Structure 1
């Protein structure tokens, strides 16, 4: 006999399926009681597909496959009837928000947790991954508990011990209204989806270089639409359509719908491909293999695009004649808004005739689904920037210190919305980090009754000197302390970890208030905090982009490091900037900048060949000069500019000239600057320069460089003094 009375789940599931709903079942109690309760309840359920996030032995007792929370991406694009999330094993906000979107109508999420009253103090195992385990209070979890307590669609179960089973037996499932005739929910194509399929087919048969971007919340049928359109294209004559995504599991639904549409025209299939009787093929390629193999596809479809690094997306965009990108608007990867905002720049520049389509009508559940509304609220997935009616004047802006964990819901959503829209990828876990980090400091800019700017920072460093030395030697790595550890281990200065600094994590300003100094005023508030608290430096780390670098320079920070590896999310190289506040901090910032300035030209051709010339010039103009040209150098420059001295013989002095005082600032904006950066600093050969359109060949490229040196000599004479 079960330890707990079984509820009539099967009837309840049939009811909510007819209504097009899904529900969260919050199972509150000690771990053993929660596990026993949910295992007993699952015995009476008839589920086609279920998943257990937690321990594999617990899942085996319930007859479900098990994954660890970090493996959640493998299940995106699939459909579930039941999801059991063992919160006692850890609660990844990204994973929970993503997997909730895989449930179809009639689906249930069983969330095993302590009683709501204990959430603020609950030692969630996932905190260790984020360096939050020492936080005395978890505002993010406490806020979630308040949201759940107020949510009418949540089924709360008290899984008590055996001696208190009578209390558990009184749990009843909510009574639900029966849908009227003709109102029963059915999964089927919406008018929006049918229009999208037709548009995808026209795109796949149409002119080249007109990419299509599809954005939608989860459950809107974008993957199904891609699959149906892919099949239509094969039947219409396209010989090869390729699909790519972070993993094949993300496109199982796409392939299933393609298979159904092909019907009798499907001749054979493998694990990753379908082939028609005419020999036309739909195939899946992982992104890295796609870019390495370069199959001759007429159409490429990219699903879950926001989960793919931006630099790979750009390569796919430029590598095939017709590319469609599909992205989830609200999900674990942050937002399709952030994806669209950042990737829009690439699309506008490379393929200005691109098109965008948005799906809003759910397919796998009804519009009034309680679970979707709950997930959106729990993780602020629908937080976004609300444009102001008019441009807001900076005259009425006030700056104030602020704690997001203490804010009301409306204010928190408004502030978080600014961060969401200003950054490429904002995840649910970022919200948790912001609310729970005990070292976090935040400031708001207000104007006319609304939030127009927000800055989020965190205190780092302050490590014991012995530990800082271990970090500098690469023998120890700690959770958190991103900037302090990076500058110690990669910059080579243990003081970066032993000193205390404030790292600005993010800063965002409302679109109508940009360009009025609001961002710089927020940075100034952070600088004053450093001075008041006796911190040594103010710093930041971000994906290298010229406009951002200029903002930080105008705010008083200087470049001290450029990362060797591209960031996975944006494909940009991380730039780290610093401003010393204390005397020791000023000395550290100057030492780091001087050290980087002395090293970066050696590293340029080895690691940063892909960095844009604009970014290189922005970095270079910020660095202290490391070279003083000699009389021989000036003679060689004159021989190259006005004689026939060859490029290779002049290259050493051209490199030295690049590291001389003010040269990179002088170079910025000149027509020949791209050729200079690529040929002199980044080590590109002339054939690569010609193929990429930087010059017509070696002769023309050298002529550009000679002309550039002539202009420099005209401005600075023979000895580097202005004429």
Structure 2
């Protein structure tokens, strides 16, 4: 490593490195470690030395620089930048870091600002509040140690520690990168030839960032003799493609395109290209496909894309005659790019478990289940990349956020099934429940929404079972089996093993995108379906289903109440009509105690109308009062805007208040003493 001393100007050394990086077509990361203000000052100095775009992502920065908050990092997808700054001195959002790195052109420096190196692992990470399941941020030593090791292990990472001279990598001999001459690579040309011959169908172009997906799409638009339309969630998200085809193709916002297709004939359009297709809701994608003879879906299948894996695993698998295309060699930078390499290693973006399938012919008796403690064993174990890689391959929601949760969030439990030392299956569970009575009531009433407790809170907030968060439970967050080991009862065996270790709990739970196959699996494991969500997930296109496995009498009572309520409410909830009933049908339109509690919670607390819909429908049947705002919405199904005009209100908030007041009046009119009892219970 070459040290830059006082007699060797920093600017000259950086410029020398950048010229070489441009020739070699690579990008590098410079880690600046120290006090937050010092790190930011050095970043500003470097940004002034080297001309470039210099987007700055972080929670704080200099007044001279426009800061992009980490939550807005995905607005950069589809763009190209020269040089960037990522401030991780107080909060380390690794997904935003990966997105930012994916925008950088060859020759770029990524400046990563981090706390003092020796202190960093034990410092509170403010980003952890998003994923740790607690109200307070936590320190994340396991992940930070892991990340530091990956940086130190790569000899092309540059460092600048406060109080020391910067240390830049020695200039290594790499072959000069072949210039980009606008001509397609052999792989791009082969794919382009196939698309140019296409008569109809859906084509899915998948690759990691920088592989030339958008460039290939622009070549198709340019060479196609007919009409091509382009859509994406925003023009900024498809900047590379849009800039290259703006004179030839018409760009549409997805929602506007669907409206246009429903109102006009679009048969003259030969191709619809959907850039970053994984970012669009599945129902919208499905609707658009029906209107065009040829569709090219372009998506980045990499963990930090959020729904990218869901797009591949759920949506594309359902398409008939879908043809898959892939690009593997980088175009925007050279192979073995230092920045891509170190982030792939640190964030486990390359899914290493694909290459390890085990001996599928081995007898079941040779398999063993081991429990994995969430401590430094993760750091030293070869299981970490295999475990996380298997989950990434199998689950559409696995992102680097899950890697952080896996390594440092409290209340996590892990087990793996091994054949000899080869990973065959993995399961990940999360503790939930055990909340105080007062907090549980506040969750039910809509007054509080603490972090974590996904199923326990949902059964209270949406299904009205306020006791659910009080009971102690454990949710199965992920379960996956290697492809060649499936259909052997391995997943069932792992779930039953978890049941045996959870005897001090009240129930196990699971939340999943509903399909008949998954529902049948969880039923075989002993779980009872207790809730179906009201909206389809953007990532899977499925309704969210929740099921529980009761382990004692209290949980069995909860399960019975949930299933009875589901069956009783079914007639008022259209999205539930196509799902099989968990128990025999119940014909009852009277108001029982659970209805009174639900209605009083809506009237005097903050229960949402969607959660109270069935009870409100029964109230309208049993009440003789006019209740115009409620009847217009629930019985006459008038649009919200029309009801607001009819009732002389000034907006949606006023309408909600009107609904609550009407319920108060109806309950008082039906039975004042019963009303008073439940009002007191709700207000306590």
Does the TM-score normalized on the shorter chain lie above 0.5?
yes
- Partner residue of 2:338? 370
Contact 1:312 1:571 in 2 (8 A): no
Contact 1:392 1:513 in 2 (8 A): no
Matches within 5 A, 1:201-600: 201-203=196-198, 207-208=199-200, 210-233=201-224, 236=225, 238-239=226-227, 241-258=228-245, 274-275=246-247, 282-294=249-261, 296=266, 297-334=269-306, 338-347=310-319, 351-352=320-321, 354-383=322-351, 384-386=353-355, 387-388=357-358, 390-403=360-373, 406-407=377-378, 408=380, 410-531=382-503, 534-600=504-570
- Partner residue of 1:149? 152
- Partner residue of 1:667? none
Distance in 1 between residues matched to 2:533 and 2:307, nearest whole Å: 25
What SS does the aligned partner of 2:119 have?
A: helix
| RMSD, matched Cα | 2.4
Q: State the Cα distance separating 1:441 from its structure 2 match.
A: 0.6
Q: State the Cα distance separating 1:464 from its structure 2 match.
A: 0.8
Asked if residue 196 in structure 1 is aligned to residue 183 in structure 2, the reply is no
Q: State the Cα distance separating 1:101 from its structure 2 match.
A: 1.1
- Against the structure 1 CA distance between its residues 624 and 391, is the aligned structure 2 distance closer, same or farther, given a 3 Å change threshold? farther
What SS does the aligned partner of 2:113 have?
A: strand
Give me the TM-score of the superposition, normalised by structure 1. Answer: 0.75
Matches within 5 A, 1:104-183: 104-130=105-131, 131=133, 133-135=136-138, 137-160=140-163, 167=164, 170-179=165-174, 183=176
Distance in 1 between residues matched to 2:531 and 2:212, nearest whole Å: 44
Distance in 2 between residues matched to 1:586 and 1:19, nearest whole Å: 65
Distance in 1 between residues matched to 2:564 and 2:438, nearest whole Å: 25
- Against the structure 1 CA distance between its residues 434 and 588, is the aligned structure 2 distance closer, same or farther, given a 3 Å change threshold? same
Distance in 2 between residues matched to 1:468 and 1:518, nearest whole Å: 36
Q: State the Cα distance separating 1:414 from its structure 2 match.
A: 1.2
- Against the structure 1 CA distance between its residues 367 and 249, is the aligned structure 2 distance closer, same or farther, given a 3 Å change threshold? same
1:221-276 CA distance string (max 9 Å, x none): 1011111211222xx1x13x221223211211012222xxxxxxxxxxxxxxx44x
1:456-509 CA distance string (max 9 Å, x none): 110011111011001011111011111111001111111111111101101111
- 5+ unaligned residues in a row in structure 1: which ranges? 161-166, 259-273, 276-280, 629-682, 684-723
What SS does the aligned partner of 1:385 have?
A: helix
Q: State the Cα distance separating 1:623 from its structure 2 match.
A: 3.0
Q: State the Cα distance separating 1:390 from its structure 2 match.
A: 3.6
- Against the structure 1 CA distance between its residues 321 and 404, is the aligned structure 2 distance closer, same or farther, given a 3 Å change threshold? farther
1:123-168 CA distance string (max 9 Å, x none): 12111122354545442222112211222121111134xxxxxx3x
- 5+ unaligned residues in a row in structure 2: which ranges? 1-5, 589-636, 638-684
Q: State the Cα distance separating 1:314 from its structure 2 match.
A: 2.1
Contact 2:124 2:138 in 1 (8 A): no
Contact 1:474 1:489 in 2 (8 A): yes
Matches within 5 A, 1:77-88: 77-88=78-89
What SS does the aligned partner of 2:79 have?
A: coil
What SS does the aligned partner of 2:370 have?
A: strand
Q: State the Cα distance separating 1:199 from its structure 2 match.
A: 3.0
Distance in 2 between residues matched to 1:172 and 1:134, nearest whole Å: 32
What SS does the aligned partner of 1:455 have?
A: strand
Distance in 1 between residues matched to 2:111 and 2:410, nearest whole Å: 30
Deviates more, 1:364-373 or 1:301-310: 301-310
- Partner residue of 1:623? 583
- Partner residue of 2:56? 52
Q: State the Cα distance separating 1:30 from its structure 2 match.
A: 0.7
Q: Return structure 1 stretches of 4+ with deviation > 6 angstroms.
A: none
Q: State the Cα distance separating 1:54 from its structure 2 match.
A: 2.4
1:289-338 CA distance string (max 9 Å, x none): 22222262321111112222333322222232111111113242258565
1:390-432 CA distance string (max 9 Å, x none): 4443222212211365234631111112211211232111111
Distance in 1 between residues matched to 2:230 and 2:127, nearest whole Å: 33
Distance in 2 between residues matched to 1:393 and 1:288, nearest whole Å: 53
What SS does the aligned partner of 1:211 have?
A: strand
- Against the structure 1 CA distance between its residues 301 and 608, is the aligned structure 2 distance closer, same or farther, given a 3 Å change threshold? farther
Contact 1:404 1:412 in 2 (8 A): no
Distance in 2 between residues matched to 1:397 and 1:461, nearest whole Å: 33
- Partner residue of 2:631? none
- Against the structure 1 CA distance between its residues 326 and 118, is the aligned structure 2 distance closer, same or farther, given a 3 Å change threshold? same
- Partner residue of 2:679? none
What SS does the aligned partner of 1:538 have?
A: strand
How many residues were matched structurally? 569
- Against the structure 1 CA distance between its residues 435 and 136, is the aligned structure 2 distance closer, same or farther, given a 3 Å change threshold? same
Q: State the Cα distance separating 1:389 from its structure 2 match.
A: 5.2
Give me the TM-score of the superposition, normalised by structure 2. Answer: 0.79
Distance in 1 between residues matched to 2:374 and 2:484, nearest whole Å: 23
Distance in 2 between residues matched to 1:496 and 1:336, nearest whole Å: 33
